[in-house]
């Protein structure tokens, strides 16, 4: 590695614009003639629309247009879809209800969009939105997925009887039941994974601009995957053909999954721009973000883990009900299936697993992937039950895990995944050492003398990243391929632009991707620029989610660099009159190995463009494109240990120590990787201690719709973290990268809850573990 | 409508705004200073923090008319002569930002915090003082590190050029 190459702790190139206020987010964009949009939203969780009267609003000051669902329909704009087909165990396809970008006949959750008002300013649009009169016939609502399945529950979509979207299974039910029936010990639990609201600090925004002269649309949007947005809006929503629609995702202020999906607002702003003849900008206020961004998690699970007399797991049975909200969001269907049940083997050699999942409509915001997406839910089930089993069996939680670890690779699990490598013992040992696990009893005693209850808990997670081999996910129902593209453009004087289909919204691609190029060619980092987030610049890409940008996005760059290097060597061999096989590229020079004959990199680049003296038949230019399709998922894994102190009088939990030992394979930039882990852990701690989305069960109103009501983790809620890495490079991609973006959020919730339940001596505790819940659980245990 | 005037980043500006115009909207939409961000509507997130007469203020909580006659510094006015302010430099060096959206408010709050603790800061104080600024990306670890490093750097006497 050079000082700026792979493995170097380089400060980020993109930071200067962010620390000086020169980042450019969607709300910073100004287009001549631009006007502002406000959406009229349903105040009811479930109601029939009797009438919409826009006449008063249309006469309000500054109003340019007020548009509703029937007009959208008459212009042929399509319904929003879920792009991953899941079949129920009876073979029937999932039951997808219609989702019109503007509701026409019925509203199904508080916040469902009914109309758009376009006006001269945000405040005038807001004033006019107040004047849109919608008459509703209220219907009974249901927000809880278990209740939505009960007989007599309100029926949300005519397509989905009993609100059941699918009833799906994975694994061998009979073999698992038999293993449990013959087991020496069975640990059973009911586990709730609390609903979360993503809360990227930049609210979602869209600026739609229709140019009638070209019959062309431009959309600036807060997207993690602008190309997927263009594809879906063209192919399914009938907004415009791809060559007439440019999608730009400029600086984007965090995503965490919530900016993957194509929401009603983007579609409606584009359409409204054509209808009203002005560019239309919409920016969510925070309450709209709470109401309408896709939420995460919300599972209720019954689990049974069965052991033989040697405390080896013989079977795992999981039965989950997943709340999907009022509509099926773009990738919602794959989250509690192929991103969840496939990870239920964890780090362990389980012979039998069976998982059943029922996906259910409710009168709540749509639910989709949120940092980790399915894998945190699987890890939480597995690691809570593993720790609880250790307590029931009177065995150290570390030793019980150790006894069940997978030790040989490749390992075929009973739930599809084929793990290609790992060393779970190494991360467990590293975490236990960093946490001084052996010294815990003394710390517990010391805390007791101060009147505090101290507990320790661990979690050994695995996740599947590098989404994903296209053929494999296609066979499982995905509507898209999950490869990535890259174009490496060597300019005539040798500087480089890399165009990538990945999208950075905080991950630091402008630095890490440039490090890979700088490392390969020995160029200074500032001679490499990364271009992303614009469908007019980058031809096609699949975007950033599922910790895929390193394992898939960088692999595409490496593949394109291979081609660039091959051509550059051919040119250099010709110019230096040497054999192509003897040419090496080092430190910005193209050399004949073992001699003093060399050319500076820029001279080879220049030769490619002057084309005065190229090998016979060679095309001028030095620019190569590659599409990289992964051969397997990657499998980051690690061990997290949390130590807490609880005040028994108040139930207040303080995290006094948090240790992470992760195996991410090859690391490009440790500074950035550590930052990803810190942020992920804090989101996981948020889920475990603070964050809980609450709907009123009868009215369906979102009770936690602002930062006054939904508890975000703040600086004083978390400690400084002790993070470290072990490394088994992934054998499935050229650099051995595994992915690090979600691990923190996946591994941390069970570690926190296992620590609290250890401290209070009661395994029955639900997230978020608020002081009230901890206090009550403690009283019950005493 | 209200006629207002103020000094923003050392430059005197005048404007005529609707009475209900917030300072943050005056900065962003009338002055084109889009470095100051809006992340919520309940004065919780702190993405909009600027300095008014030297003190950190959430600019979504103040009417533009209330700031009339004041001196306002935004994130765009912090670096001098092309040199990053020590707090800006520390955020970059210690990876105290990821998506960058909360960053301007964080930095403006940190500059004010360091000013209010001339005797120096410790981790606990920094964490408590950041109560009004929410970050979803960094887990605060490197923000705290950056603020402590900047506080340390700013307490050292300037080396003569």
Do B62 and B91 reside in the same domain of the chain? Answer: no
Chain A, window 88-127: residues with a beta carbon less than 8 angstroms from a chain B beta carbon: 123
Do B14 and B70 reside in the same domain of the chain? Answer: yes
Residue B160 lies in a domain: no
Do B8 and B35 reside in the same domain of the chain? Answer: yes
Do B64 and B100 reside in the same domain of the chain? Answer: no
Do B99 and B132 reside in the same domain of the chain? Answer: yes
Q: Which residues, at least 6 apart from A692, have a Cβ–Cβ distance to it below 8 Å?
A: A194, A195, A196, A704, A710, A711, A767, A768, A770
CB-CB under 8 Å, A203 with B84: no
Q: What is the pLDDT of residue B159?
A: 54
Greatest alpha-carbon pair distance for chain A in Å reads 87
Buried b or exposed e, range A502-531, using 16+ CB within 10 angstroms: bbbbbbbbbbbbbbbbbbbbbbebebbbbe
Pick B159 or A8 by higher pLDDT.
A8
Among B51, B95, B121, B145, the residue to mutate for chain A (most A Cβ within 10 A): B95
Residue B50 lies in a domain: yes
CB-CB under 8 Å, B103 with A715: no
CB-CB under 8 Å, A20 with B88: yes
CB-CB under 8 Å, B141 with A721: yes
Do B101 and B49 reside in the same domain of the chain? Answer: no
A/B interface, count of CB pairs below 8 Å: 185
| pLDDT tens readout for residues A202-216 | 999 999 999 999 999
Nearest CA in chain A to B82: A20
Structure tokens at B82: 């092309």
Structure tokens at B148: 């402590």
Of A123, A254, A679, the CB nearest to B101: A254
Nearest CA in chain B to A204: B39
Question: Secondary structure of chain A: what % helix, strand, coil (to 5)?
Answer: 30, 25, 45
pLDDT band, very low/low/confident/very high, at B160 (cuts 50, 70, 90): very low
Give all domains of chain A, ordered by start, each with its CATH number.
31-139+202-253+259-292 (3.90.1170.50), 299-467+632-781 (3.30.365.10), 483-628 (3.30.365.10)
pLDDT band, very low/low/confident/very high, at B161 (cuts 50, 70, 90): very low
Distance of CA A340 to the CA centre of its chain: 13
CB-CB under 8 Å, B136 with A254: yes
CB-CB under 8 Å, B44 with A708: yes
Q: Domain boundary residue among B77, B96, B121?
A: B77
- The C-alpha atoms of residue A451 and residue A444 are separated, in whole angstroms, by 10
Tell whether A730 is within 8 A of chain B (Cβ).
no
Residue A468 preceded by cis peptide, ω within 30: yes
CB-CB under 8 Å, B138 with A20: no
- The C-alpha atoms of residue A428 and residue A440 are separated, in whole angstroms, by 16
Q: In which domain, by residue range, is B69 found?
A: 2-77
CB-CB under 8 Å, A720 with B144: yes
> Shortest Cα distance from B67 to chain A (angstroms)?
20
Nearest CA in chain B to A124: B18
> Shortest Cα distance from A672 to chain B (angstroms)?
7
Of A253, A675, A678, the CB nearest to B100: A253
Bridging pattern class, strands A722-726 and A583-586: unpaired
Residue B103 sits in a domain of what CATH number? 1.10.150.120
What single-letter DSSP state applies at residue A551?
I
Query: Pick from B137, B126, B154: which is nearest to B39 by CA?
Result: B137
| pLDDT tens readout for residues A564-588 | 999 999 999 999 999 999 999 999 9
Total domains in chain B come to 2
The sign one gets for the Cα dihedral B111, B113, B117, B119 is negative
Residue B161 lies in a domain: no
Do B25 and B70 reside in the same domain of the chain? Answer: yes
Residue B60 sits in a domain of what CATH number? 3.10.20.30
Do B66 and B90 reside in the same domain of the chain? Answer: no
| pLDDT tens readout for residues A651-691 | 999 999 999 999 999 999 999 999 999 999 999 999 999 99
The average pLDDT across B117-126 equals 97
- The C-alpha atoms of residue A383 and residue A361 are separated, in whole angstroms, by 28
Query: Pick from A519, A532, A520, A529: which is nearest to A495 by CA?
Result: A529
Structure tokens at A107: 């509203």
Query: Pick from A349, A409, A358, A334: which is nearest to A634 by CA?
Result: A409
Of B20, B33, B98, the CB nearest to A123: B20
Do B72 and B113 reside in the same domain of the chain? Answer: no
Q: Domain boundary residue among B26, B46, B77?
A: B77
> Shortest Cα distance from A9 to chain B (angstroms)?
10
DSSP A62-80: TEEEEEEHHHHHHTTPPPP
Q: What is the pLDDT of residue B156?
A: 77
CB-CB under 8 Å, A508 with B88: no
Do B28 and B65 reside in the same domain of the chain? Answer: yes
Q: What is the pLDDT of residue B158?
A: 58
Tell whether A691 is within 8 A of chain B (Cβ).
no
In terms of Cβ atoms closer than 10 Å to its own Cβ (0-12, 13-18, 19+), residue B115 is middle
Neighbours of A302 (CB within 10 A): 15
Do B71 and B100 reside in the same domain of the chain? Answer: no
Query: Pick from A323, A345, A262, A251: which is nearest to A12 by CA?
Result: A251
Q: Domain boundary residue among B46, B77, B108?
A: B77
pTM: 0.97
Of A30, A199, A678, the CB nearest to B138: A678
Tell whether A2 is within 8 A of chain B (Cβ).
no
**Reduced 3-state DSSP string for A758-775:** HHHCCCCCCCCCCHHHHH
Q: Which residues, at least 6 apart from A612, have a Cβ–Cβ distance to it below 8 Å?
A: none
Nearest CA in chain B to A717: B127
> Shortest Cα distance from B132 to chain A (angstroms)?
8
SS3 A164: strand
Residue B64 lies in a domain: yes
Do B113 and B63 reside in the same domain of the chain? Answer: no
ipTM > 0.95 for the complex? yes
Q: Which residues of chain A have pLDDT under 70?
A: 1-2
Q: What is the pLDDT of residue A782?
A: 87
Residue B26 lies in a domain: yes
Neighbours of A739 (CB within 10 A): 26
CB-CB under 8 Å, B41 with A286: yes
């Amino acid at each position: 590695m050079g000082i700026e190459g792979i493995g170097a702790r380089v400060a980020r190139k993109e930071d200067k614009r962010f620390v000086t206020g020169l980042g450019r987010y969607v709300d910073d964009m100004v287009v001549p003639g631009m006007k502002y949009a406000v959406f009229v939203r349903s105040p009811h969780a479930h109601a029939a629309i009797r009438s919409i009267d826009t006449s008063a609003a249309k006469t309000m000051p500054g109003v340019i247009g007020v548009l509703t669902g029937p007009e959208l329909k008459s212009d042929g704009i399509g319904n929003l879809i879920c792009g991953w087909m899941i079949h129920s165990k009876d073979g029937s396809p999932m039951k997808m209800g219609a989702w019109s970008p503007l509701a026409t006949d019925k509203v199904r959750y508080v916040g469902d969009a009914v109309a758009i008002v376009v006006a001269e300013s945000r405040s005038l649009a807001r004033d006019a939105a107040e004047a849109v009169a919608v008459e509703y016939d209220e219907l009974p609502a249901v927000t809880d997925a278990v209740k939505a399945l009960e007989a007599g529950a309100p029926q949300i979509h005519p397509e989905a009887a009993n609100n059941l979207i699918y009833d799906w299974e994975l694994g061998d039910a009979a073999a698992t039941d038999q293993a449990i029936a013959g087991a020496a010990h069975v640990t059973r639990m009911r586990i709730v994974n609390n609903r979360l609201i993503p809360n990227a600090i930049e609210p979602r925004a869209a600026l739609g601009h229709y140019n009638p002269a070209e019959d062309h649309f431009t959309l600036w949007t807060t997207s993690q995957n602008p190309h997927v947005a263009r594809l879906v809006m063209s192919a399914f929503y009938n907004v415009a053909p791809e060559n007439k629609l440019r999608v730009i995702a400029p600086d984007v202020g965090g995503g965490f999954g919530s900016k993957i999906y194509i929401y009603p607002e983007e579609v409606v702003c584009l359409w409204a721009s054509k209808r009203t003849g002005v560019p239309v900008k919409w920016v969510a206020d925070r309450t709209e973000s709470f109401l309408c961004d896709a939420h995460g998690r919300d599972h209720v699970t019954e689990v049974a883990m069965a052991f033989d007399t040697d405390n080896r797991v013989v079977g795992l049975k999981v039965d989950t009900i997943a709340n999907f909200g009022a509509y099926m969001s773009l990738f919602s269907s794959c989250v509690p299936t192929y991103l969840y049940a496939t990870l239920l083997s964890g780090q362990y050699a389980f012979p039998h697993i069976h998982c059943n999942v029922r996906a259910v409509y409710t009168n709540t915001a749509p639910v989709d992937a949120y940092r980790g997406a399915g894998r945190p839910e699987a890890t939480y089930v597995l690691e809570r039950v593993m720790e609880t089993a250790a307590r029931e069996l009177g065995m150290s939680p570390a030793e019980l895990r150790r006894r069940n670890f997978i030790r040989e690779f490749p390992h075929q699990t009973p739930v599809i995944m084929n793990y290609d490598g790992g060393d779970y013992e190494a991360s467990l040992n590293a975490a236990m050492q960093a946490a001084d696990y052996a010294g815990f009893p003394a710390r517990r005693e010391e805390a007791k003398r101060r009147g505090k209850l101290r507990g320790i808990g661990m979690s050994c997670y695995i996740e599947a990243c590098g989404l994903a081999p296209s053929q494999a996910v296609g066979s499982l129902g995905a509507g898209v391929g999950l490869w990535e593209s890259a174009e490496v453009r060597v300019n005539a004087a040798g500087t480089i632009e890399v165009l990538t289909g990945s999208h950075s919204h905080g991950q630091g691609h402008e630095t890490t991707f440039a490090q890979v190029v700088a490392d390969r060619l020995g160029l200074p980092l500032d001679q490499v620029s990364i271009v992303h987030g614009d469908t007019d610049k980058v031809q096609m890409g699949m975007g950033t989610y599922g910790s895929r940008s390193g394992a898939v996005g960088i692999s595409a760059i490496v593949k394109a660099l291979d081609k660039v290097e091959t051509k550059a060597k051919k040119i250099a061999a010709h110019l230096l009159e040497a054999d192509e096989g003897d040419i090496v590229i080092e430190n910005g020079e193209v050399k004949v190995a073992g001699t003093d004959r060399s050319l500076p990199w820029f001279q080879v680049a220049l030769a490619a463009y002057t084309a005065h003296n190229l090998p016979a038949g060679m095309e001028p230019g030095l620019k190569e494109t590659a599409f990289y399709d992964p051969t397997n998922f990657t499998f980051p894994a690690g061990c997290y240990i949390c130590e807490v102190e609880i005040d028994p009088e108040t139930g207040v939990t303080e995290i006094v120590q948090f240790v992470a030992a992760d195996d991410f394979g090859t690391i490009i930039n440790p500074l950035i990787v550590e930052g990803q882990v810190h942020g992920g852990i804090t989101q996981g701690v948020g889920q475990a201690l603070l964050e809980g989305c609450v709907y009123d069960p009868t009215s369906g109103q979102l009770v936690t719709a602002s930062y006054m009501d939904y508890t975000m983790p703040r600086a004083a809620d978390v400690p400084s973290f002790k993070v470290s890495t072990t490394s088994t490079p992934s054998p499935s991609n050229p650099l051995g990268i595994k992915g690090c973006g979600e691990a923190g959020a996946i591994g941390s919730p069970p570690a926190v809850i296992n620590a609290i339940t250890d401290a209070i001596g009661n395994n029955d505790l639900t997230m978020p573990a608020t002081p009230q819940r901890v206090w009550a659980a403690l009283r019950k245990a005493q | 409508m209200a006629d207002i005037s103020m000094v923003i980043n050392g430059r005197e500006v005048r404007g005529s705004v609707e009475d209900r115009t917030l300072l943050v909207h005056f900065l962003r939409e009338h002055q084109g200073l889009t470095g100051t961000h809006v992340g919520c509507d309940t004065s919780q997130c702190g993405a909009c923090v600027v300095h008014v007469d030297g003190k950190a203020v959430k600019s979504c909580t103040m009417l533009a008319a209330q700031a009339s006659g004041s001196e306002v510094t935004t994130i765009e006015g912090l670096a001098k002569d092309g040199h990053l302010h020590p707090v800006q430099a520390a955020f970059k060096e210690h990876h105290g930002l990821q998506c960058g959206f909360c960053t301007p408010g964080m930095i403006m709050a940190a500059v004010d915090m360091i000013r209010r603790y001339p005797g120096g800061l410790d981790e606990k104080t920094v964490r408590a003082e950041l109560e009004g600024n929410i970050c979803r990306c960094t887990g605060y670890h490197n923000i705290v590190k950056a603020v402590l490093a900047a506080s340390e750097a700013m307490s050292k006497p300037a080396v003569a050029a």
